[in-house]
Structure 1
Amino acid sequence: MPKFHDYTCRIGWTGNRGEGTRTYRGYDRTWDITTIGKPVIKCSNDPLLGGNPALPNPEDLLLASVSACHMLWYLHLGSDAGIVVHSYTDEPVGHGESEPNGAGRFVGITLRPRIEVESGIDLHKAEAIHHRIHEVCYIARSVNFPILVEADYRKL
């Protein structure tokens, strides 16, 4: 039987320039994510929609969440399977579409991890782990678009 649990945070809009949302261009699309006991994350809207390109936006955060969850499960399942990982980096790509009315959505994500494994590791076994992750990854199981993996391995 599943155990249920909650995650909490606080989202606070910080973009009021003094006039609130009186005009569409009169306010900033910025906010803070506050989670008890953790650093505040300053965010903005997608730059295509008037956001600050120097700050993470919701799309960045979703992409990073998918990638990080996959990585953590890969390290866990790899360790269980005897796959010794020395380095794991990913440069994922989120594939989106926008409707003429401005509505948008992710239609897929491609993870592109570069994984350094110990010499002598069976790369077929290392690759097979990726296909098991979507059965257990909290984030991957929560989204409604495909997540592809194009892993690149290097033996040390």
Structure 2
Amino acid sequence: MAKYVAEVLWTLKDGEDFLKGRYSRGHSITFDGGVELAASASPHVVGKWAVEAAVDPEEMMVAALSNCHMLTFLHRARLAGFLAVRYQDAAEGIMEEVRPGRQALTKVWLRPVITWQGDEPTAEQLAQLHHEAHDECFIANSVKTQVMVEARAAA
């Protein structure tokens, strides 16, 4: 069993009014390797109390799905004998009401563009590689959000 840890730290700043909801949602997340990330609630959720330059949980979920798919895809492509030299994804997720007063990230689109060196997979092989990557991705297997992969050709 693998264990993953992240430390989340938020502190009330002088002059903020916690009980009235007038406080910054900015905080930090430190991962076990030492990387520290500026984080916040989404501006779509808390307006001016968010830190727009920071990463919000919804963005992290979209990024985690994209990141996991990429890493799994690269592994599957390597095993299939294809040489990927660049992978870029413009992932996007949407938040929708799932029942009155409750919202969820309901759909995530992964839009990978892969550049190959040497033989490139056929459209059918590429679709199979993405299918295998999605099926094996730990993060995709951990969520109920619908994840769509819209692979695009490199220019």
| TM-score of the superposed pair, with normalisation by structure 2 | 0.87
Asked if structure 1 preserves the Cα contact closer than 8 Å seen for 2:82 and 2:119, the reply is no
C-alpha deviation, 1:18, in angstroms: 4.2
Q: Secondary structure, in 3 states, of the residue corresponding to 1:7?
A: coil
**Stretch of structure 1 that moved more, 65-74 or 4-13:** 4-13
State how far apart, in whole Å, the 2-side matches of 1:29 and 1:100 are.
25
Match runs of 1:1-156 below 5 Å: 4-19=1-16, 21-25=18-22, 27-48=23-44, 49-50=46-47, 51-98=50-97, 102-123=101-122, 124-154=124-154
State how far apart, in whole Å, the 1-side matches of 2:107 and 2:68 are.
16
Structure number with the higher helix fraction is 2
Which stretches of structure 1, 4 residues or more, deviate above 2 A after TM superposition?
Answer: 14-20, 98-103
Identity, % of aligned pairs? 31
Q: Deviations over 1:107-147 (max 9, x none)?
A: 11110011111243232212210001222111000000211
C-alpha deviation, 1:14, in angstroms: 3.3
C-alpha deviation, 1:7, in angstroms: 1.1
CA distance 1:47–1:100, change in 2 (3 Å): farther
Return 5+ residue gaps in structure 1 as ranges.
none
Q: Secondary structure, in 3 states, of the residue corresponding to 2:54?
A: coil
CA distance 1:152–1:109, change in 2 (3 Å): same
| TM-score of the superposed pair, with normalisation by structure 1 | 0.87
Return 5+ residue gaps in structure 2 as ranges.
none
Give the root-mean-square deviation of aligned CA atoms.
2.0
Number of corresponding residues: 151
C-alpha deviation, 1:102, in angstroms: 4.7
State how far apart, in whole Å, the 2-side matches of 1:62 and 1:76 are.
21
